[in-house]
Each structure stands twice: as structure tokens, then as C-alpha cells.
Homo-oligomer: A and B are copies of this chain.
Amino acid sequence: MTKAQTGAEALVRSLISGGITTCFANPGTSEMHFVAALDRIPGIRCVLGLQENTVTGMADGYYRVLGRPAATLLHCGPGLANGIANLHNARRAESGIVNITGDHALAHVAYDSPLTTDIAALAGASSDWFHIGTAPEAIGTDAAHSIAAAGTGAGHGRVATLVLPADVSWSEGGEAAAAPERSPLVAPEPAVIREAAAALRGQEKTVIVLGTAGLTRAAHPLIAAIAAATGAEIKSSGMVAVQPRGRDALDIQPVPYPVDLALAALAPFTRVITVGCPLPTAFFLYPGRPSLVTRDGAQHIALSGRDDDAQAALEALAAELGVPVLPLPVRPVSAFTEPEGEITAEGFAETVCGLIPANAIVVNEALTLGTGFPARAGRTEPCDWLHITGGAIGGGLPVATGAAVAAPGRRVITLQADGSAAYTMQALWTQAREGLDCLTLILNNRSYAILVGEYAKVGADPGPTAMDMLSLDRPAIDWVGLAASLGVAGEAVTTLGDLRAAMQGALGRRGPYLIDVRFA
């Protein structure tokens, strides 16, 4: 760059050089020079969110679909804090985000003006990598480093936070940087491949547990071949960012969420091979239950870890085993019934699965009302399921919104528990603003039903104080009215027949829509 430019301009140019084309944003005063630079330098699409947890959740959904990071733009410590819960989910999804957080001018921090926070502590607690900008001359290189840290590819992303002090942004002297060098994924270790192959050839019962990097569509033929040749059981880790599903994909069931079911599911296996995930744990610890849900004393072989090339590892394992790898057969179209009557978990799943269009993206924050899907998701049209990975409630609507931004032309269907939807309802407004093809199904039981179940494990019936904190029916949220107030049309249904008709109508037109699915 020969022309004099501000730090903000150098940053924008560096982001564009690094392949960033989308910025999910909720800016404030400290970010105005950056916004002005986005105005002057074309190349980045800005998508506004009304609250920061929708912004970070959108960036998570975007990465899951495209496998490359978007930028986010947040305002000072409180803006960053508002986005931390979905940054947490993004980290657990191994989604890459270049998280730009504006902050006070460097010289201003010492005066502890009202909006001053411990930005380093907040960035450190919420990010895999962070850096506080120091000068316009360096901010371009800082951006390149943050893009490199954010990574690419399913299961290989990280949250990289770049704090942008206002004076670094507004000062002249900015120097843009070229596209960053990214570290290549680590090639498989032959000894580990041989160990895994030996285990799979042996007599002990073995389960292969797959995380996001091990579950891409490209991996499915390898997994199928290895399972067929060795008799190994295949499971997903249960916290997978993107799982290919439907009739062109392997029908892989997760390690169950309820701890007793998880223990039972894994009890037979004395050997556990993990690919792109850690050993499965109980989500929460419960009295008298273990933290790890694998069989006590089971041998663990980590075929592929956080920075490893899972695809290459599976290829090497298949080669070591000498098994033929063939394209997966696409199963014929499966008939789903058209159930009528009151809405049950089974009937809900049957109805929805029958209507998922080919190439859809299904975002799953269904919680207690999603129990009917695992048995059916292998028979739908080919699609991708995005799960809530980190347990931070309120990921569904923002992730769906970001996925739709990333994938124009693909239909996004969100299975969204009502209690969880309430955390990030603001995302509906961005769906309306951007005209996104997002169909939201609110699974509306007017309670934190998952907590009623958890409370039961405490060993007592909930009394009035507890029920008051677990029920959402005083008042019941009018989800159709709420969506309409934010620009999203919708309707409420109370029967499976009406649900099917409503979904057919919504899928027949463009733009966002919400169906309030009222369970008993």
C-alpha cells in the first residue's frame, strides 16, 4: 500500500486479503472509524444483529456451513461479554471466528472511564487466541495472525479475538498485510494408525467415536468401509458441529445425552478410538455417576486430535486395514407417514423428517422435544444437521441465521425449544432484515422441560418455588406475535396435520417464517 491510510482501513484491507467477506456486527462509538473504513473499501458484507450473542452465534453458523471464518464486530468489554455464550458454543463447535472487539483508545484506559473493563481478561476467557492492537502500523499483521489463528475446515476453527483500540483505528500509518500463512494440519502418525488397526483387527469390542472433523461427508465412505471390515461400532460424539444426514450419509447415532443411557451404550466396548473429538464425558456430573461415560478401564486410542488431519488419518487407517473404500450408495427415497392428531415427539419428528428438502440445513436446539429424530434422520433427503455443541443455551436461532447468510439457496430449518429461543429471540429480526430462508419451528411446551427432568433427579417433586422457576406459562409467550413484531411472519399449530400444512406452505415460499408448535 502506498497510499496513507488509517489503522481501520489497513485492517479492512487485511481482512479482505485474508478471505474475509462477511462481518456480523453490533458496533458502537469506538468502532465508528472501522465502520467508516468498511464504507470506503468495498468487499465485506455487513450483517447487523440487535444483540451481540446473535452476532457471535451467526458467525458460528456461518463457519459451520462454509468452513471459513467470518469477522464479528463488537463494542468494548460489555459487547464482547454479551457475545461470550455463543463464542463458547463456537469454540466447542471448533468454528473459526475473527472476533474484532473495539475498545477505548489506549491512552484512555488509564482514566477508567465508565465503559472501561478488563478487556484482556474477557478476551482471554472467551477466546482460543487474542491480541490487543498496539499501533496502526501493526494492525494489518495482527489481522493476518488472527485470520491464521481462526483456521479453516470442519473441526479445525478457533475463536481469535483482535481488540481494536479506537486510536489504533483512527490513526494514520496503517499498513495492510497479505493473506496469512496458515499452519497445515498434522499428518497421521504411522504408529497410531498401526495401533488403531491392530485394535480393530483384534477380538475386543471396539467403538469409534467421531467428532466434527471425523464426520464430514468425505469421511463417510471411509467410516463405512472400516466398520464393515472390522465390525467396529460407530458413534458420533453427540456434540458435533455439522453432521451430514439423510439417505446419502451413514446413519450414525450419537452417544446419548442422558448419562445412564450413555454409560449403557458404551459399556460393551473395551476399546475406544476417537477421531476428531476427546473421550466422551457426561455433560454434567451426577451423584454416584462417573465423569467419563466410556467403560471403566477401556483402552483409548486417539486416532486424530485437535490439529490433526482426520480425513488423512481415516484414509491411512483404511489403507492399513487393507479395506476397499467405495462410494456410499444413496438409499432410495423413504416414505414417511403423515400422522394426524395431537403433537407428540414421535409424530413431530415423523412430520418434519418427511418434509426436509434436499440440501437443507437443520439446526437442532430441540432439547426435550427432539427425541423422535435420531431414529428417522437417516431416512430423510440429504442434509446437514448443526447441533448445539457447547451447552450454552440460545445458540439455535443465531446459528441458523448465520448458516442462512452463508448458504443462499439452502433451506434452513431450526428445531428450537421455546425456553432456549427466549435467550436470543433478537436473531429473528436479522432473519427478516436479510430475507433469509429460515424456517423456525418453536417447540413450545411453555416450560424449561429439560430442567423439570433434571429437578426430578434431585429426588423430590418440585414445590411452588421450583415450579415457578421451571415454568414459562405465566405469561405464555406468543411466539407468532413476537416473530411478527420483529418482521417474521408465522402461525401457530396444535395438530400434526396443521403442522404439515404450515411447513408445506412455508417451504413453498422464500424468506423467514416461524411456526409455533404447541405441545401439550
Binding site for B on A (CB under 8 A): 25, 27-30, 32-33, 35-36, 38-40, 46, 48, 50-51, 53, 75-79, 81-82, 84-85, 88-89, 92, 104-105, 107-108, 110-115, 117-118, 121-122, 124-126, 166-167, 170, 239, 278, 281-285, 287, 291-292, 389-394, 419, 422-423, 425-426, 429, 432-433, 450-451, 454-455, 457-458, 460, 462-466, 468-470, 472, 474-482, 484-487
Query: Which among B88, B111, B477 is the interface contact of A77 at CB below 8 angstroms?
Result: B88
Give 12 CB contacts A-B under 8 Å: A27-B451, A28-B451, A38-B466, A107-B291, A108-B282, A114-B281, A115-B283, A115-B391, A115-B392, A118-B125, A425-B425, A433-B474
State A191–B392 Cα separation when bound (angstroms). 53
State A88–B75 Cα separation when bound (angstroms). 14
When all copies of this chain in the complex are counted, the total is 2
Query: Which among B46, B291, B482 is the interface contact of A468 at CB below 8 angstroms?
Result: B46
State A287–B168 Cα separation when bound (angstroms). 11
Query: Which among B36, B40, B92, B422 is the interface contact of A51 at CB below 8 angstroms?
Result: B422
Least CB distance, A189 to chain B, in whole angstroms: 22
State A76–B123 Cα separation when bound (angstroms). 18
State A51–B425 Cα separation when bound (angstroms). 10
8 closest A-B pairs by beta carbon, nearest first, are A475-B487, A78-B392, A81-B84, A481-B485, A121-B125, A482-B485, A115-B391, A108-B285
Q: Once the chains bind, are B35 and A469 in contact (CB under 8 Å)?
A: yes
Least CB distance, A210 to chain B, in whole angstroms: 16
Least CB distance, A88 to chain B, in whole angstroms: 5
Q: Which residue on B lies nearest to A88, using beta carbons? A: B78
Apart from the given pairs A50-B423, A478-B485, 13 other A-B contacts in the complex at a CB distance below 8 Å: A28-B454, A36-B466, A39-B460, A39-B466, A51-B423, A77-B88, A84-B122, A107-B291, A118-B124, A125-B125, A475-B486, A478-B484, A480-B485
Known A78-B392, A125-B117; contact A281-B32, beta-carbon cutoff 8 A: no
Q: Once the chains bind, are B92 and A114 in contact (CB under 8 Å)?
A: yes
Q: List chain B residues, Cβ under 8 A from A479.
A: 485
Q: List chain B residues, Cβ under 8 A from A166.
A: 284-285
Q: Once the chains bind, are A36 and B475 in contact (CB under 8 Å)?
A: no
State A451–B485 Cα separation when bound (angstroms). 24
Q: List chain B residues, Cβ under 8 A from A485.
A: 477-482, 484-485
Q: Which residue on B lies nearest to A284, using beta carbons? A: B29
Q: Once the chains bind, are B107 and A285 in contact (CB under 8 Å)?
A: yes
Least CB distance, A514 to chain B, in whole angstroms: 11
Least CB distance, A487 to chain B, in whole angstroms: 3
Q: Once the chains bind, are A108 and B28 in contact (CB under 8 Å)?
A: no
Q: Which residue on B lies nearest to A291, using beta carbons? A: B111
State A53–B423 Cα separation when bound (angstroms). 10
Interface-centre pick from A48, A82, A239, A480 (highest chain B CB count, 10 A): A82
Q: Once the chains bind, are B285 and A455 in contact (CB under 8 Å)?
A: no
Q: Once the chains bind, are B78 and A84 in contact (CB under 8 Å)?
A: yes
Q: Which residue on B lies nearest to A85, using beta carbons? A: B78
Q: Once the chains bind, are A466 and B283 in contact (CB under 8 Å)?
A: no
